[in-house]
Amino acid sequence: MTKLTNRSYTYYFLLPAGIIYFVFFLLPTIMSFFFSMTWWTLTDWKFIGLENFITFLTEPSLNIGFKNTIIYAIVTCSLKVILGLLLGVFLSQKLKTIGFVRSMVFFPTLLSTIAVGMAFAMMMHPTQGLINTSLKIVGIAGPDWLGDTTIALLSVALVDVWKGVGMATVIFIAGIMSIPEDYYEALAIDGGNSFHKFWNIIVPLSRPAMNSVIILAFIGGLRSFDLVWAMTKGGPGFSTDLIASIIYKQYQGGFYGLSTAGNVILFIVVSALAFPLYAFLNKKEVDL
Amino acid sequence: MSETQIAVKAETTFRTNTRKRKTVRKLFSEILAIILSLIIFGVPFYFVIVNASKDTKESSLLNMDLPSSFHLFENIQSVMAAQNGMIIRAFFNSIMITGFSIAILILVGAMAGYVLQRRTSKMSPFFNFLILAGLIIPPAIVPTIWVLDGIGLFKTMPGIILVEVALNLPFTILLYKGFMATLPKELDEAALIDGCGRVRLFFSIILPLLKPVSATVIVLTAVGVYNDFVNPLYFFPGAENATLQLTLYNFSSMYNTQWNLLFTNILLISIPPLILFIFFNKKIVAGMTAGAVK
């Protein structure tokens, strides 16, 4: 009789995926460590040690990306978690129009980042933009959202949240829906109010969903590039430059070694923050 | 009335009152939800559509007023005609890249997900680590160009397709792996006993059963690759090679004074995701959360 063994599932089936993944993802990643230490023109290279990294970390126009990337990731991630949780609680109620509202919140996730960035850049125009003309009606002088170096990064981050909060919301809805009814019944017997329901049941028990949102939003924030590029191109000055946009600028300028050093730095930042965060969040998870 | 009766009566009035309060509150929150979602998520759409229907002069005011005369179709024609019909070329490219990426991802991803779920060995943790790494690590840009250039695929359609496949593989394999766990192993056993080969087992029995998750992969990849800006920007440059996202980006400087055309372009580019969303709403949401909530 034929028996199912490991041999029934040949590892040859992994070959096509493995080859594509290795050639177009792993190999470049491994090579980036070498090329980041060179002066490089694609055809020719010269080994220069850690010079690219030193330039990247000391040049003010380059290391600002470091700070901006962290701020951007923290701001977008925390807003997505908070707003996503509130929207998730709200949209897991049994309301008549729930389908419509959910679709409305989720749809921006599917739109092109470039299109969203451009539309919002228009709405954030300092004098004619929709946002500031509306604020004017209520008597508030709106700021120059994308032109003021102190708030430009936050303005872009807000658009990122607008586009991405739908994703966070549906993850939270899935988490909240999976909480067994018994908990709410027990709370009702103990005479808890809706704040207790939120704080003592929903928040701790939607923990797995929250962890997913945190991880996804945080990594997404660290790697972010296209929205910033569509809205400000890193300006004014270098105030909205992220590591990823600096990588692009250096690539455009023909500084391939420097650009690759940026890549390696981004790799280190993402791994240094994401893997421990992942381990930490998984440890704190509670069982349902 | 006895004390218990009073208590019961008090209890019932209390209940009806709270129920009434609840319905009022529910109605209130319902209205609030609609208004808020309309303002925050609806206004930007309205703004784009209204301005795409105006002439150049009116759209330069960037306001929300209705257009005094309707110019949407003219604007669409102008956008289509710009730079010798660049947008049509871009549309063709985007469709080709998306289509081939989907086809390869389904075939290659299903094969890998199938074996990785069924076969456990000392290698399994290593493969899982590779998948996780692929989800987290940002791709190295210039070294990828170097690899593509080395094998003659830089600035070519196969090149960008293979890069898209490589970057989307981890999530696809994860989806297939998750779904494979719901198919019983007895199925494989029965097929093998009936004299089915290992290859035929996968292609004529397993693969058709993976249809639901393949549908998810199709929709997610379609949205992801179609909307992708960064990878074509790096790996598919050149005038002939435009994709829809790149064209929109390049047009933005060209349309600096003709915002109505820019809005028309934004509108046109958003129609395919809208159509997908209308037909596959549930599938998209389920697919996107499936990988996340685990």
Average pLDDT value for chain B: 85
Which residue has tokens 């220069």? A48
Chain A CB contacts of B170 under 8 Å are 21
**B140 near A CB under 8 A:** yes
The token pair at A57 is 């970390």
Residue B13 has pLDDT above 70, yes or no: no
- pTM comes to 0.86
Torsional class of A38: left (φ above 0), alpha (ψ -120 to 50), beta (otherwise): beta
**CATH T-level fold of A49-287:** MetI-like fold (1.10.3720)
pLDDT given for residue B1 in this prediction:
52
**Range of B85's domain?**
76-289
Residue B112 has pLDDT above 90, yes or no: yes
On whether the CB atoms of residues A272 and B138 are closer than 8 A, the answer is no
Number of domains in chain B: 2
- Out of A141-150, A220-229, B14-23, B93-102, which region has the weakest mean confidence (pLDDT)? B14-23
Q: Provide the chain B residues 270-289 that lie in CB contact (below 8 A) with chain A.
A: 270, 273-274, 276-277, 281, 284-285, 288-289
Segment A277-281 mean pLDDT: 82
The token pair at A240 is 């909205």
Cα(B234)–Cα(B141) distance, integer angstroms: 7
Q: Which residue of B has its CA nearest to A15?
A: B112
**B107 near A CB under 8 A:** yes
Name, of A13-27, A119-133, A272-286, the range with top average pLDDT.
Answer: A13-27
SS3 sequence, chain A? CCCCCHHHCCHHHHHHHHHHHHHHHHHHHHHHHHHCCEEECCCCEEECCCHHHHHHHHCHHHHHHHHHHHHHHHHHHHHHHHHHHHHHHHHCCCCCCHHHHHHHHHHHHHCCHHHHHHHHHHHCCCCCCHHHHHHHHCCCCCCCCCCCCCCHHHHHHHHHHHHHHHHHHHHHHHHHHCCCHHHHHHHHHCCCCHHHHHHHHHHHHCHHHHHHHHHHHHHHHHHCCHHHHHHCCCCCCCCCCCHHHHHHHHHHCCCHHHHHHHHHHHHHHHHHHHHHHHHHHHHHCCCC
Q: Which residues share a beta bridge with A47?
A: A38
Could you give the percent of chain A with pLDDT greater than 70? 97
Kindly list the distances between the CA atom of residue B250 and the CA atoms of A118, B90, B97, B212, in Å, as whole numbers in the listed order.
12, 12, 19, 38
Segment A108-112 mean pLDDT: 89
The token pair at B198 is 């290992």
Instruction: Tell me: do B88 and B223 sit in the same domain.
Output: yes
Instruction: Tell me: do B29 and B96 sit in the same domain.
Output: no
**B261 near A CB under 8 A:** no
Average pLDDT value for chain A: 87
Taking Cα atoms as reference points, which of A21, A197, A146, A186 lies closest to residue B135?
A21
Q: Which residues share a beta bridge with A38?
A: A47
Q: What is the ipTM for the molecules in this complex?
A: 0.87
On whether the CB atoms of residues A216 and B294 are closer than 8 A, the answer is no
Q: What is the DSSP string of B178-236?
A: HHHTTS-HHHHHHHHHTT--HHHIIIIIIHHHTHHHHHHHHHHHHHHHHH--HHHHHHS
Segment A67-86 mean pLDDT: 94
pLDDT given for residue A1 in this prediction:
45
Q: What 8-state DSSP symbol labels residue B241?
A: G
Segment B4-18 mean pLDDT: 62
Instruction: Tell me: do B86 and B174 sit in the same domain.
Output: yes
| CA angle, residues A211, A212, A215, in degrees to nearest 5 | 85
Cα(A260)–Cα(A248) distance, integer angstroms: 10
Q: Provide the chain B residues 62-91 that lie in CB contact (below 8 A) with chain A.
A: 62-64
Assign A275 a pLDDT band (cuts: 50, 70, 90): confident
The token pair at A167 is 């994703």
Which residue has tokens 């940026």? A262
Assign B14 a pLDDT band (cuts: 50, 70, 90): low
pLDDT given for residue B2 in this prediction:
60
pLDDT digits (tens, 9 = 90+) for B273-294: 888 888 887 777 777 776 555 4
Instruction: Determine the 3-state secondary structure of B171 from DSSP.
Output: helix
pLDDT digits (tens, 9 = 90+) for B129-168: 999 889 889 999 999 999 999 999 999 999 999 999 999 9
Taking Cα atoms as reference points, which of B265, B261, B228 lies closest to residue B97?
B228
CATH code at B196? 1.10.3720.10
User: C-alpha dihedral over B223, B224, B226, B229, to 10 degrees?
Assistant: 140
The token pair at A168 is 């966070």
Could you give the percent of chain B with pLDDT greater than 70? 90
Helices B157-180, B124-136: axis angle to 10 degrees equals: 130
**B210 near A CB under 8 A:** no
- Please measure the distance between the N-terminal and C-terminal CA atoms of chain A and give it in whole angstroms: 43
Taking Cα atoms as reference points, which of B174, B237, B176 lies closest to residue B209?
B176
Q: Is residue B71 part of a domain?
A: no
Nearest Cα of chain A lies from the Cα of B176 at a distance, in angstroms, of 13
Neighbours of A119 (CB within 10 A): 24
Q: Which residues share a beta bridge with A40?
A: A45
Q: Which residues contact B288 (CB under 8 A, 6 or more apart)?
A: A109, A167, A170, B220
Q: Is residue B70 part of a domain?
A: no
Interface touch B147/A27, C-beta < 8 Å: yes
Segment A177-206 mean pLDDT: 87
pLDDT given for residue B294 in this prediction:
46
Q: Which residues contact A245 (CB under 8 A, 6 or more apart)?
A: A65, A225, A228, A229, A233, A234
The token pair at B36 is 């808020």
Nearest Cα of chain B lies from the Cα of A277 at a distance, in angstroms, of 12
| CA angle, residues A91, A96, A97, in degrees to nearest 5 | 65
The token pair at B111 is 């094969």
pLDDT given for residue B168 in this prediction:
94
pLDDT digits (tens, 9 = 90+) for B259-268: 888 888 889 8
- Which of B37, B52, B67 is the endpoint of a domain? B52
Q: Is residue B66 part of a domain?
A: no
Segment A102-121 mean pLDDT: 88
| Nearest residue, CB atoms, B34 vs list A8, A97, A275 | A97
Q: Is residue B178 part of a domain?
A: yes
Residue B61 has pLDDT above 80, yes or no: no
Segment A13-19 mean pLDDT: 93
Taking Cα atoms as reference points, which of A243, A237, A236 lies closest to residue A258?
A243
Segment B180-204 mean pLDDT: 87
Segment A35-51 mean pLDDT: 86
Cα(A70)–Cα(A243) distance, integer angstroms: 10
Cα(B248)–Cα(A76) distance, integer angstroms: 25
pLDDT digits (tens, 9 = 90+) for A135-189: 888 888 878 888 888 899 999 999 999 999 998 998 898 888 888 888 888 888 8
pLDDT digits (tens, 9 = 90+) for B227-263: 999 999 999 988 788 899 998 888 877 777 788 888 8
